[in-house]
Amino acid sequence: MSTPDILDLGGQVAVVTGAGQNAGRGIALELARHNAGGIAVNDFVPERAEAVAEEIRATGVPALAVPFDVGDLDAIKAADAAIRDKLGAATILVNNAGMAGPGGSLRPALNFWEENPATWDRYLRTNLYGVYNACFAFIPNMVAAKRGRIVTIVSDSGRVGEPKLAVYASAKAGAQGFVRSIAKELGRYNVTSNAVSLSSLMPDMPEEKLAELMASDQAKAQLARYTIRRYGKSADVAGLVTFLCSGAAEWITGQTYPLNGGYAPSM
C-alpha cells in the first residue's frame, strides 16, 4: 500500500522565475516530483531555461522554457499565453528571480550615500517590480480557478538589514510587504501568498574554487554567524517552497519564513 504524498500539487501548472540554475532549478525539479501538471521554467538566459526544462521532461513531467526578464511585463504576459497554450493556465507562481538582474552581481561595496543612483534601478526592477509584474500576469489565472499558490523568495537583507546593500535590502523588504498585502486580497479565492527569506546559499562554482572559498577567513567568519554552520543548499529552499505550494499549507498565508541556518531568528 503506497503512502499518500502530503506535498501533492494536484496536477497544477507552476511557473518558476530564475529557474535556470541554483535554487530556482532545485525548486522546479522538486515541484515536478510532487505531481505538478507542468513546469514553466524561466530564466533570462534561454539556454539555461531549456536545459532545466529538458531535465524535467526526462522525469515524465511536461515542461516549457519561457525565457524573459521579470522586469518586462509585456514579455511575462506573452509567456503566460505560451504556457496556457502548451501546459495550461499556471496557478502556482514561484518568484525566485532576484539579485541584480540580467548581467548583474550582488557585491557589497559602497555606503548608500556613496553610490551612483543610476545603479538603484537594477535592484528595484528585478527584486520588487519583477515580483509585481509576475503576480500581475499570473494572478488572474488563480482567481479564475479559485485556487493558487504564490511563493516569493526574499532575503534576510530585507528582513534584518545589511550594510552596503541598502537598495537591494529595501527592494526585498518591499516584496515582503507586497506578499502580505496580496495575501489579504486573495484569500477569498483560495489563493495563498507567502515568502521565504534566505541568507547565503552555497555558491555555484567549480569544486576547486569552492574549496578555496570554504578555507578562506571570509567564509569562516560568515559561517560563524550561523547556528547551523554551513551555507544553505538548493534542496533546503526547494523543500520549503514545495510545502508552501502544496495542499498541506492551505491555511498558511501572508507569512515570511526565515530559511537561514539560524542567522537571524524570527519572533
Q: Please give the span between the terminal C-alpha atoms of the chain, in angstroms, as a whole number.
A: 41
Phi and psi at residue 63, to the nearest 5°: -150, 150
Chain centroid to CA 220: 27
**CB-CB contact of 76 with 137 (8 Å):** yes
Task: Give yes or no: 257 in active site.
Answer: no
Of 108, 53, 59, give the one whose Cα is nearest residue 86.
Answer: 53
Cα 195 off chain centre by: 9
**What 3-state DSSP class applies to 41?**
strand
Instruction: Point out the catalytic residue in the list 168, 231, 257, 263.
Output: 168
Q: What's the CA angle centered on 17, arms 26 and 51, to 5 degrees?
A: 60
Catalytic annotation, residues:
168
